[in-house]
Chain A
Amino acid sequence: MDLAGIIEIVNAKFGEGFGSIDEEVSTDTVRLTPEKWGQLAPFLRETPELFFDAMMCITGIDEGVESENLAVNYNLHSMKHNHKLEIYVSMPKSDPKVPSVEQIWRVADWFEREVYDMFGIEFEGHRDLRRILLPSDWDGFPLRKDYEFPETWHGIVINKMKEGWE
């Protein structure tokens, strides 16, 4: 099934114009708000014609220093029907919250923890949201564009620019 067919089924359930496609950026990414994503996610898994049973990748994105948004990109795939879907959810930097889908696709457990670790996006409903790659007492979210590298960590000087080598 191609993207048009998928969107048709989704719109049939949730109403016209549920997801928007920004033709200029990409022709096959559906853009949603966090609340709509929370409504759509179980539907994608449970509907037999769609049956997206594999979440291929969840990527956190910082849209740039000028834009005030963070985003999460979901790549879904159906093993049964062999079709794909890409969903782009953006949210303001001041309040980055997205509903978690880790109970629907268990792989999202660790993917969402990584996005939280690197960007600070909170996934509501995630049962165990804590850092995964960085030490648990790390400050800040490194993959954000406005991230400043800390000078020291636990007393160890880590900023090479600083002339503090003793």
Chain B
Amino acid sequence: MGVVIEQELGTVHGDEMILNIGPQHPSTHGVLRLKVHTDGEIVTKITPYIGYLHRCFEKHCENLTYEQATPYTDRCDYIGSMNNNFGYAVAVEQLMETKVPEKVEYMRVIVAEMNRIASHLLALGTFGLDVGAFTPFLYCFRDRERILDLFEMLCGARLLYNYIWIGGVSHDFPVGWVEKTYEFLDYFEPKINEYNDLLTYNKIFIERSADVGVIPVDVAISYGVTGPNLRGSGVRWDLRKDDPYGIYDRFEFDIPIGTGAMGSVGDCWDRYYVRVRELEECIKIIRQALDALPRDGDVHAALPKKIRPKAGHVYSRTESPRGDLGYYIASDGSDTPTRIKMRSPAFTALSCLNEISRGWMISDVIAILGSLDIVLGEIDR
């Protein structure tokens, strides 16, 4: 049941209340401030205020060399660090017109997809938490812990990896890592059924999320919504298939899209379900990559001595767990970039919040925000 009310703003509107979902709030996914104008419980307008986590990433990069800027990209989307590094490395390698060895390509795909699983698990768990289901959150984190343990074994860090470097990766897979990853995949695959039993097909959860916060396709494309949010609205668009980078064109996987199975196409349930289905696709990709991984090879073979791209600029984009992650890098021939701009997918996803939550209630706004899966580190940089 949708509660979309046509409000005639400008005529007399009864007592409008301005509510502040402040920077400190249990479910704003970071430091985000939402100024909500409500008429009773129905929302009439939302103004997001961001910038609480702005750490001047772009200004810093103008004083760093290219390889020094890699750890800084980690910290923007701290949930999907591998993918940030990946996008940056792809952009700079495009600017320098270099190629990386086969083994490095496979390794990058494996870690990027594992990071995608970890990021989606967090998104699913916190969405359940926003809607009131406390237990799936802990189950998702239990499985995410195992991925973080694998990453710790790989490069020593649990969250901010600095792993994918320009021209290669920082460490080779340690002895036993591949076997442990196979074990993890075998353990994890049946867990997706557990999440489905507990949350996805739960009647109360469906009532809270189906038909809520529908993003129509034209609104989505106009607002720059990408990634699982756009796929939830029924658009079969995935950069790994439609604009491939690295070796993604060698893998067989599907692109799940939202079909309005429980409500309308593009509602919160669709976006949530696209993420659940993407977990399965990630497992497929990782298995194929592990099977085809070349065992020998030096991962540092193509690391350039000095990273000095010739003058020019590039805009390249990769598929991060949140959508299209774009890097615009301008170089003037020296070893520090003149301009790095990071186009973050969560930034554009948040900009459409006002449009899609008008006419819904405050509880629904929290649910919609949860389904958009934003990370403030990436929005504010």
Q: Which residues of A contact B (CB under 8 A)?
A: 25-26, 29, 53-57, 59-62, 64, 73, 75, 79, 82, 86, 105-107, 109-110, 118, 131-135, 142-143
Supposing A56-B317, A79-B221 touch, asked if A134 and B328 sit within 8 A by C-beta, the answer is no
Contacts of A64 in B (CB 8 A): 332, 338
Give the chain A neighbours of B328 by CB distance below 8 A: 57, 59, 73, 75
Partner of A143, one of B59, B224, B324, B326: B59
A residues within 8 A CB of B235?
79
Beta-carbon contact of A59 and B51 below 8 Å: no
Stretch at the interface among B9-17, B67-75, B128-136, B339-347: B339-347
CB of B312 within 8 A of CB of A142, answer: no
Given contacts A53-B221, A57-B343, A106-B222, contact A133 B51 (CB under 8 A): yes
Across the interface, do A134 and B51 meet the contact criterion of CB distance under 8 Å? yes
Known A-B contacts A57-B326, A61-B330; the reply to A107 vs B348 at CB < 8 A is yes
Q: Are A107 and B315 in contact (CB under 8 A)?
A: no
Nearest opposing residue in chain B for A104, CB measure: B222
Q: List 20 A-B contacts (CB under 8 A).
A: A26-B312, A29-B313, A53-B218, A53-B222, A54-B221, A54-B224, A56-B343, A57-B315, A59-B341, A60-B341, A73-B315, A75-B328, A79-B235, A106-B223, A107-B224, A110-B348, A133-B50, A134-B54, A142-B56, A142-B59
Bound-state CA distance A53–B352 (Å) is 16
Give chain A residues whose Cβ lies under 8 Å from the Cβ of B242: 82
* Beyond A86-B315, A106-B352, A133-B50, 6 additional pairs, beta carbon < 8 A: A29-B313, A56-B343, A79-B221, A106-B224, A106-B351, A110-B351
Nearest 5 interchain pairs by C-beta: A107-B224, A133-B51, A57-B343, A110-B351, A59-B341
A61 to B51, alpha carbons, bound, how many Å?
A: 20
Question: Are B237's CB and A79's CB within 8 A?
Answer: yes
- State the CA gap A101–B339 with chains docked (Å): 23
A25–B315 CB distance below 8 A = no
Q: Cβ of B380 < 8 Å from any Cβ of A?
A: yes
The residue from B54, B326, B341 contacting A133, defined by CB atoms under 8 A apart: B54
Interface of B is mostly: mixed
Interface assignment of B58: CB less than 8 Å from any CB of chain A: yes
Q: Please name all residues of chain A whose beta carbon is closer than 8 Å to the beta carbon of B317 when the two chains form the complex.
A: 56
Contact A56 B326 (CB under 8 A): yes
Contacts of B351 in A (CB 8 A): 106-107, 109-110
Which chain B residues (303-355) contact chain A, with CB distance < 8 Å? 311-313, 315, 317, 324, 326, 328, 330, 332, 338-339, 341, 343, 347-348, 351-352, 355
Q: Taking the nearest CB of chain A, how far is it from the CB of B195, in angstroms?
A: 31
Q: With A and B bound together, what is the CA distance between A54 and B219 in angstroms?
A: 11
- Indicate the member of B50, B54, B341 with the most A CB atoms within 10 Å: B341
Q: Which residues of B contact A55 (CB under 8 A)?
A: 224
Once bound together, how far apart are the Cα atoms of A127 and B381, in whole Å?
25
Bound complex: CA A25 to CA B313 (Å):
8
Q: A57-B341, A134-B54, A135-B51 given as contacts; is B221 within 8 A of A26 (CB)?
A: no
B residues near A56, Cβ cutoff 8 Å = 224, 315, 317, 324, 326, 343
- Tell me the nearest residue of chain B to A149, going by C-beta: B59
| Chain B nearest Cβ from A53, distance in angstroms | 5
Contacts of A73 in B (CB 8 A): 313, 315, 328
Q: Give per-residue flags for B215-257: 1 if the beta carbon is below 8 A from chain A beta carbons, else 0.
A: 0001101111000000000010100001000000000000000
- Using Cβ atoms and an 8 Å threshold, which residues of chain B touch A131? 51
Q: In the assembly, what is the distance between CA of A64 and CA of B222, in Å?
A: 32
Docked CA distance A79–B238 (Å): 11
The CA of A34 and the CA of B218, in the complex, are separated in Å by: 27
CB distance from B62 to the nearest CB of A (A): 8
Q: A59 touches which one: B332, B339, B348, B352 (CB < 8 A)?
A: B339
| Shortest Cβ gap from B57 to chain A (Å) | 11
Find chain A residues with CB under 8 A from B54 CB: 133-134
Q: A59-B339, A106-B352, A110-B348 are in contact. Are A75 and B315 (CB under 8 A)?
A: yes
Find chain B residues with CB under 8 A from A142 CB: 56, 59
CB distance A75 to B326 under 8 Å? yes
How far is the CB of A63 from the nearest CB of chain B, in Å?
9
Contact A132-B50, Cβ < 8 Å, known A57-B326, A59-B339, A75-B328: yes
Contacts A79-B235, A106-B223, A133-B54; A26 near B315 (Cβ below 8 A): no
Determine whether the beta carbon of B315 is less than 8 Å from that of A105: no
From the candidates A26, A53, A79, A134, name the one contacting B313 in the complex (CB within 8 A): A26
Give the residue name and chain of the A residue nearest to B218 (CB): A53
Give the residue name and chain of the B residue nearest to A57 (CB): B343
- What's the nearest-Cβ distance from chain B to residue A4, in Å? 20
Give the Cβ gap from B26 to chain A, nearest Cβ, in Å: 24
| Measured CA separation A107–B54 after assembly (Å) | 20
Docked-complex contact A25 and B312, CB < 8 angstroms: yes
- CB distance A61 to B339 under 8 Å? yes
A-side contacts of B223, CB under 8 Å: 106-107
